[in-house]
Amino acid sequence: MLVSARGLTKTFGDFVAVDGIDVEVRRGEAFGFLGPNGAGKSSTMRMIGCVSPATGGELRIFGQDPAVDGPAIRARLGSCPQADMLDEELTVQENLWIYGRYFGLTKAQTRKRATELLDFAQLTDRRGDKVEPLSGGMKRRLTIARSLINNPRTAPARRADHRPGPAGAAHPLGPALPAQTSRRDPHHHDALHG
Amino acid sequence: MSGLDLGAPASRATRVSRALPFPAGAGMARWVIARNAMAFRHGWVALVTGFAEPVFYLFSLGVGIGALVHSVRTDGGSEVPYAVFVAPALLASSAMNGAVMDSTFNVFFKLRYAKLYDSMLATPLGPRDIAVGEIGWALLRGALYSAAFLAVALLAGVVTSWWALLALPAAVLIGLAFAAVGMFATTYMTSWQHFDYITLAIQPMFLFSATFFPLSTYPEGIQWLVQATPLYHGVALERGLMLGEVSWALAGHTAYLVVLGVIGALGAARRIERLLLT
Ligand SMILES: Nc1ncnc2c1ncn2[C@@H]1O[C@H](COP(=O)(O)OP(=O)(O)O)[C@@H](O)[C@H]1O
Ligand SMILES: [Mg+2]
């Protein structure tokens, strides 16, 4: 089980942004939250990403509690923010290198992974350039590549389990439809979309 | 998700830092420092200016004013040439200025515009790693400038005591106090106009912390005010060391700066947590 939430709640002051949702996401599923603006999708994703403490309910990521094991969970998540938030003071490849180190990867692991990801994102020939002048699409690809840096893999691609997600999960986000499974990464990557 | 073999983040430092009752960190502040060093390589011009300023002051004041003033009686009671008197104060003030620049302008930009800390917090790094890393970086840079300044001061013949060896760690301590408080203050700023407050605090301190004339020349009524400022303690510490006027008072100055640094660092980490981990 990648994510399991029961009665997950987030309030900002008196305002209830996420009102007791139940969600389960299993390995191999690609899962998306759909809903109108302000429904609480981003708030939910921030809780799952362990950058926002849950106000109530129970949340487990990889079976671990974000309140206790936040850094360890974040170490295993590929988090792709809404805004690009790249490090504009660094070059394209430096963005990947330093991000790998934030995740506790060794230098060798990081360099190897960065080379693969640059190729995947078709940014190899821009690797020494500063981020600032890149096109919007390139920045987006770099952001995605960066979010995959901590997912080194040597084993063959895992069997993708294309079972539909937990469509029964009723919550105020509107119909939580499982998104179409996509293979964003040459190596299979469990994907959550907010 | 399996097969993820992380380098070695669960080191002893990690376990210790997790056990502390302070804002969370993963014991990985060094990667914040590494990131800054990486970015700095692209903007090394700043290195030159950071070094040049106090050296210019030393020669313009020490040589210029020194020609008029000749000698000064220090608060420690000795009679020294003006350049010898003013050099420790320039070291202390440049440590302050460097630390404040790094921890206010640069941190503000990263916090409010570049959203750098948001992307760091999406990794195992925690708010304390960011606070410790940013302050640590300010100290590293400060140490570099201070070492260069001391070398110039030595060559210019204004260093008179072996105690001056401790002037470098003392400068780093001054940097710690100001970087920590500066970063703490910056977390409360919401617009560039707020930097006027920083200037408002720094300028008078630079001029009136017994920097350019001894404490005894100030009117008695405001001597206590001078002695309350952090830069006064930095200047007094450096002057005591570089002139070899060592007494227990130096321990007091050191303690003042340590306390300020710890409060600032904890406050900064706490505020980053409040601001970004909502
Ligand atoms: N930090 C915050 N402080 C106060 N209110 C917030 C905060 N973040 C989100 N909200 C509010 O919570 C609600 C849900 O926001 P969000 O999760 O961003 O929705 P979505 O991503 O589905 O559009 C919105 O009404 C938003 O204004
Ligand atoms: Mg949103």
pLDDT at position A30 is 84
How far lies A41's CA from each of A21, A120, A175, B34, B207, in Å?
Answer: 11, 28, 12, 34, 53
Which whole number is the average pLDDT over B61-82? 85
Q: Which range among A184-188, B55-59, B114-118, B252-256 has the greatest average pLDDT?
A: B252-256
- Considering the domain architecture, whether residues A108 and A59 belong to the same structural domain is answered as no
Could you tell me if A56 and A64 are in contact, meaning their C-beta atoms sit under 8 angstroms apart?
no
CB pairs under 8 A between A and B: 100
**Domain span at residue B232?**
12-277
Q: How far is the C-alpha of B153 from the C-alpha of A174, rounded, in Å?
A: 70
Tell me, what's the pLDDT at B1?
A: 35
Q: Say if CB B51 and CB B145 are below 8 A apart.
A: yes
User: Does residue A116 share a domain with residue A179?
Assistant: yes
Q: Is residue A55 located within the same domain as residue A120?
A: no
Q: Does A80 map to a domain?
A: no
Rg (CA), chain B: 20
User: pLDDT at position A180, please?
Assistant: 33
Residue A22 forms part of a structural domain: yes
pLDDT at B27: 81
What would the two tokens of residue A120 be?
């995947």
For residue B113, tell me if it sits in a domain. yes
Tokens standing for A93? Answer: 């490849």
Name the domain count of chain A: 2
Q: pLDDT at position A194, please?
A: 53
Backbone angles phi, psi at A20, to 5 degrees: 60, 65
Domain check: are A127 and A169 in the same one?
A: yes
DSSP class of residue B213 equals S
Whether residue A118 is found in the same domain as residue A172 = yes
pLDDT value of residue B23: 66
Query: Residue B65: inside a domain, yes or no?
Result: yes
pLDDT one-digit tens code per residue, B164-214: 999 999 999 999 999 999 999 999 999 989 999 999 999 999 999 999 989
The answer as to whether A86 is a domain residue is: no
Segment B49-67 shows an average pLDDT of 81
Considering only alpha carbons, which residue of chain B is nearest residue A51? B277
Our mutation pick for probing the ligand 1 site, out of A8, A10, A12, A171, counting the most ligand atoms within 8 A of Cβ, is A12
Contact A73, A62 (CB under 8 A): yes
Determine the Cα–Cα distance for residues A15 and B118; give it in Å rounded to an integer.
Answer: 23
Q: Report if residue B197 sits inside a domain.
A: yes
Listed residues A70, A101, A124: the one ending a domain:
A70
Ligand 1: centre distance to CA A38 (Å): 6
- Do A131 and A56 lie in a common domain? no
Contact A87 B39 (CB under 8 A): yes
Q: Are B102 and B179 in contact (CB under 8 A)?
A: yes
Which residues are CB-neighbours of B129 under 8 A, at least 6 positions away?
A: B25, B26, B27, B28, B29, B31, B32, B120
Ligand 1 closest atom vs CA B278:
1
Q: Provide the percentage of residues in chain B whose pLDDT is more than 90.
A: 51
| Residue A83 sits at the chain B interface (C-beta within 8 Å) | yes
| In a shared domain, residues A14 and A47 | yes
CB A178 less than 6 A from any atom of ligand 1: no
Domain closes at, from A70, A101, A118: A70
Q: Which two tokens stand for residue A43?
A: 């708030």
Atom 16 (ligand 1): residue with closest C-alpha? A40
Q: Is residue B9 over pLDDT 50?
A: no
Q: Residues 131..170 of B with a Cβ closer than 8 Å to A: which?
A: none
> Which residue in the block uniquely carries the two structure tokens 């640069």?
B106
d(CA B192, CA B196): 8
CATH classification at residue A62: 3.40.50.300
Residue A16 lies in a domain: yes
Residues linked to residue A192 through DSSP beta bridges, in sequence order: A31
Range of the domain at A58: 3-70
A43 lines ligand 1 (CB under 6 A): yes
Name residue B148's amino acid.
Answer: A
CA distance A145 to A79: 10
Strand ranges (E), B111-190: none
Instruction: Specify whether the CB–CB gap between B198 and B181 falls below 8 A.
Output: no
Give, for ligand 1, the residue of A8, A16, A19, A43 to mutate: max count of ligand atoms closer than 8 Å to Cβ.
A43
Per-residue pLDDT band at B15 (split at 50, 70, 90): low
Q: Look at residue B20 in the predicted model and tell me its pLDDT.
A: 52
Residue B3, in any domain of the structure: no
Does residue B8 carry a pLDDT above 60? no
- Total domains in chain B come to 1
Query: Is a pLDDT exceeding 60 seen at residue B138?
Result: yes
Residue B192: exposure state from Cβ atoms within 10 A (0-12, 13-18, ≥19):
exposed
Q: pLDDT tens string for chain A (194 positions)?
A: 889 999 999 999 999 999 999 999 998 888 888 999 999 999 999 999 898 999 999 999 999 999 888 888 888 887 677 778 899 999 999 999 999 999 989 999 999 999 999 999 999 999 999 998 999 999 999 999 998 998 733 222 222 333 333 333 333 222 322 333 333 333 444 555 55
Q: What is the pLDDT of residue A10?
A: 96
CA–CA distance, A175 with A59 (Å, rounded to integer): 20
Of the candidate ranges B7-21, B134-148, B193-207, B210-224, the one whose mean pLDDT is the lowest: B7-21
Its pTM stands at 0.80
**Within-domain flag for B2:** no
Domain assignment of residue A10, yes or no: yes
Chain B: give the shortest CA distance to residue A122, in Å.
Answer: 22
In a domain, A188, yes or no: no
Residue A107 included in any domain = yes
Q: Are residues B1 and A190, on separate chains, in Cβ contact within 8 Å?
A: yes
Pair A144, A177 in one domain: yes
- Only one residue has tokens 């790249």, namely A86
The DSSP line for B40-103 is HGGGTHHHHHHHHHHHHHIIIIIIIIHHHH-EEE-TTS-EEEHHHHHHHHHHHHHHHHHHHHII
3-class SS at A24?
strand
The pLDDT of residue B12 is: 56
CA angle B93/B99/B102 to nearest 5° reads 140
Select from A70, A143, A142, A146 the least CA-distant residue to A101: A146
Residue B19: pLDDT over 70 = no
Beta strand A3-12 pairing with A15-25? antiparallel
CA A173 to chain centre: 19
- What's the CA gap between A25 and B171, in Å, rounded? 53
Interatomic CA distance for residues A101 and A81, integer angstroms? 18
